[in-house]
Amino acid sequence: MPDQVLFAMEVMLNGLMAGVLYALVALGFVLIYKASGIFNYAQGVMALFSALTLVGIMEGQVPFSHLINAIFGTDIHHFGWHVPALVAIILTIAVMILFAWLVQKVIFRHLVNQEPILLFMATIGLAYFLEGFGDLMWGSEIKRLDVGLPQGINEWIDLTTFEAFGYGFFIDNLDISATIVAIFLVAGLIVFSQYTKQGRALRAVADDHQAALSVGISLNFIWVLVWSVAGFVALVAGIMWGAKSGVQFSLSLIALKALPVLMLGGFTSIPGAIVGGLIIGVGEKLFEFLIGPMVGGATENWFAYVLALVFLVFRPQGLFGEKIIERV
Amino acid sequence: MFYREAGDFSTTYPQDSQTFPIKFDRYRYYVVLVIAFGIIPFIINDYWANAVFVPFLIYAIAAIGLNILTGYCGQVSLGTGAFMAVGAYSCYKLMTAFPEVSMLIHIPLAGLITAGVVTIFGLPSLRIKGFYLAVATLAAQFFLVWLFNKVGWFYNYSASGQISAPQRDVFGIIVTGPNTAAWAKYMICLVFVTICAVLARNLTRGTTGRTWMAIRDMDIAAEIIGVNPLKAKLTAFAISGFFVGIAGALFFSVYLGAAEVGESFGIDKSFLVLFMIIIGGLGSIFGSFAGAAFMVLLPVFLKNVFVGWLGWPTDLAAHLQFIISGGLIIIFLIMEPHGLAQLWRVAKEKLRLWPFPH
């Protein structure tokens, strides 16, 4: 096979892996949107916040140490212990559940029955708040996150492809583990929503709020639940991205990348989020590889949006979205 | 006691349909104009011009622009930052290509160019609605920023990739470049703000504004009663783009002096202007001013309190600023979804009854 084709294949595979990560973020959006009609712009910041919390707990950082030092003139940074990754993850999940409960209690309870666009803007406010809060709590410098996932080039794929095609593919172990985790996560979510009582209640709420209320499902509980699940998904996405490129502010920008994924897949469809993520991941990598050099590179910044935009003009509800029916 | 329409009779139609029908309101408006044009230019200094007045006036224009699109016509846009960049770069190209022409011509021209670009990006709004449209405008945001970064023609192939405003004047008074006096910066912004606000106010209460509001409230119903959605949406995009373009041109040439597109016109600018109109009040010209003033003054205030008085490090103050502005957005949406403008309206209603509320 000619080199060019092999390169393209490698780029495509890497694109698929990146797409899985986009899909992970997009999944959190879809969950909340389905259950409560809230388009949660803060999903990316939730990923950032959960990753920050995880690192903070693992490293034994003192929360708000920066603020405390500024007020009292002290100089404290760390408790001096290291928490094992698994315990830290469980603690972070607890923090995300608490966060979900607070969001529900303090913000969205008071915004029931408001227009969707107002809810969306409230989540933008929430994103700003959480971003500042996370930085204040754990400090804003770039942190390394290492929960024991394998990193670096996968030797086996490199060798096998070298023997088969005479050219070794470079695929990061981390991307492979991200894909595996994502598959498990999606499988887990499917099992949860199909076979558990809470999952069924969740689907009922997503289907019809009033009907769900009338058979005795507590909307409040479901909303807290779905925000917690979204927080968990955000944590997984945060771990993966954080392990890849460090825990830093730009993590919250991947939320923006998830938006075209959602548009492509449709806001209400979980398979849509995954397929959309893969299409965007492969599309932007291939475009950068094939067309990028001709127009000066860095096309990854906008390609996803423009692709989604062009696509939407032909199919306004996305690939798998429910058909939009409007009545006067 | 003073603020009521009793005894204020309209005897002609123009009187009946004027912008400020209540006498007290009208006089207040004149007083504000006199102070803004007649007093502030003589006492303003560099700090006040650069930290407060100039950004406030420029953001007020941008907020009016976005308010026309989002508040009046209901099309959420997250591309304001990039649209301001279009204004800035077209102003820069005009300034360098025609050095002898007055800024009073360049800036509206930059606005017109922006209007054209924004209309093109507004075309999908005919097919796409709501969130989908908001995300679609992100395409404009990222694509335009990338374009201005990559194509050398836009920044005249300068080595740094920046654009910097050369010295230009209006009737012999220097308004751009490093030698500009504080009052000159202030005055040129003020002139444009006044023109834009009067224009916007009159557009929004006329036929154009009513068709926008019909589209905002329910576009299908509006279409059925004979509003042309194509025309209404595209005019909203174009006029909004015109204002945002003027704001971008002023922001670059008068306020910043030198700009790098990703830094000065990134997505945070889009959100900043969006926050202004939420806090100020969607669908209100006064709200655009109130929101712009609020969002410009808040960081100045916080910086003075935390860094100046308490002596905390600046990055801490920056984090707190995020928390406070995010929190305020949420509080406003919960307590008063119609923003500062609604508080103002309520205050006026109360004043009309005062001192006998029953």
B166 and A CB contact within 8 Å: no
Count contacts between A and B (CB, < 8 Å): 143
Task: Count CB neighbours of A90 within 10 A.
Answer: 13
Q: CB burial class (10 A; 0-12, 13-18, 19+) of residue B271?
A: buried
Determine what percent of chain B is predicted with pLDDT higher than 90: 34
- Alpha-carbon distance of A190 to A30, in angstroms, equals 13
Structural domains in chain A plus CATH codes:
3-314 (1.10.3470)
- Residue A70: predicted pLDDT: 75
Hey, is A118 helix, strand or coil?
helix
What are the chain B neighbours of A258 within 8 Å (beta carbons)? none
Nearest in space to B67 (alpha carbons), one of B197, B169, B206: B197
- The set of residues, in sequence order, having a beta carbon less than 8 Å from that of A152 and lying 6+ positions away, is A172, A173, A174
- Alpha-carbon distance of A14 to A278, in angstroms, equals 10
Which of the two residues, B312 and B74, has the higher pLDDT score? B74
B130 and A CB contact within 8 Å: yes
- Residue B83: predicted pLDDT: 94
- Residue B1: predicted pLDDT: 60
Report pLDDT digits (tens) over B212-231: 999 988 888 999 999 999 99
Report pLDDT digits (tens) over A214-235: 998 888 888 898 899 889 988 8
Give me the residue label for tokens 């999944």.
Answer: A27
Reported as type and span, the H/E element at residue B163 is strand B163-164
B150 and A CB contact within 8 Å: yes
- Residue A310: predicted pLDDT: 83
ipTM score here? 0.82
Residue B261's pLDDT band (cuts 50, 70, 90): confident
- Residue A189: predicted pLDDT: 84
Which of the two residues, B183 and A268, has the higher pLDDT score? B183
Shortest Cα–Cα distance, B41 to chain A (Å) = 36
Which of the two residues, A140 and B284, has the higher pLDDT score? B284
**Average pLDDT score over residue span A190-200:** 86
Give me the residue label for tokens 């860095």.
Answer: A298
Cα dihedral A104→A105→A107→A109 (10° resolution) = 80
DSSP codes joined into one string, A199-268: HHHHHHHHH-HHHHHHTT--HHHHHHHHHHHHHHHHHHHHHHHHHHH-BSGGGGGHHHHHHHHHHHH-TT
What are the chain B neighbours of A113 within 8 Å (beta carbons)? none
Residues 264 to 293 of A: which have CB under 8 A from any B CB? Answer: 267
Peptide bond into B355 cis (omega under 30): yes
- Alpha-carbon distance of A176 to B202, in angstroms, equals 60
B128 and A CB contact within 8 Å: yes
Q: CB burial class (10 A; 0-12, 13-18, 19+) of residue B353?
A: exposed
In one-letter notation, the amino acid at residue B277 is: I
CB-CB contact of B215 with B233 (8 Å): yes
Which of the two residues, B68 and A170, has the higher pLDDT score? B68
Report pLDDT digits (tens) over A68-93: 777 777 777 777 777 787 888 898 89
Report pLDDT digits (tens) over B49-59: 888 899 999 99
Q: Most confidently modeled of A158-167, A200-209, B41-50?
A: B41-50
Report pLDDT digits (tens) over A144-157: 777 767 766 777 77
Q: Is A111 within 8 Å of B322 when comparing Cβ atoms?
A: no
Cα dihedral A256→A262→A267→A272 (10° resolution) = -150
Residues 311 to 340 of B: which have CB under 8 A from any A CB? Answer: 312-313, 315-316, 319-330, 333-334, 337
What are the chain B neighbours of A260 within 8 Å (beta carbons)? 135, 138-139
Mean pLDDT of chain A: 81
Task: Count CB neighbours of B328 within 10 A.
Answer: 19
Q: Which two tokens stand for residue A60?
A: 């034994």
B229 and A CB contact within 8 Å: no
Which of the two residues, B114 and A35, has the higher pLDDT score? B114
- Residue A175: predicted pLDDT: 79
Task: Count CB neighbours of B179 within 10 A.
Answer: 8
- Residue A268: predicted pLDDT: 75
B171 and A CB contact within 8 Å: no
CB-CB contact of B101 with B94 (8 Å): yes
- Alpha-carbon distance of A258 to A25, in angstroms, equals 6
A305 and B CB contact within 8 Å: yes
Q: For domain B22-267, give the fold.
A: ABC transporter involved in vitamin B12 uptake, BtuC (1.10.3470)
Q: Is B330 within 8 Å of A117 when comparing Cβ atoms?
A: no
Report pLDDT digits (tens) over B335-356: 888 888 888 888 888 888 877 7
How many CA atoms lie less than 13 Å away from A244 in the CB half-sphere?
20
Nearest in space to B303 (alpha carbons), one of B316, B290, B289: B316
Strand partners, B258: B164
Q: Is A305 within 8 Å of B139 when comparing Cβ atoms?
A: yes
B132 and A CB contact within 8 Å: yes
Spell out where B190-317 has E strands. Answer: 258-259
Q: Is A127 within 8 Å of B326 when comparing Cβ atoms?
A: yes
- Residue A1: predicted pLDDT: 60
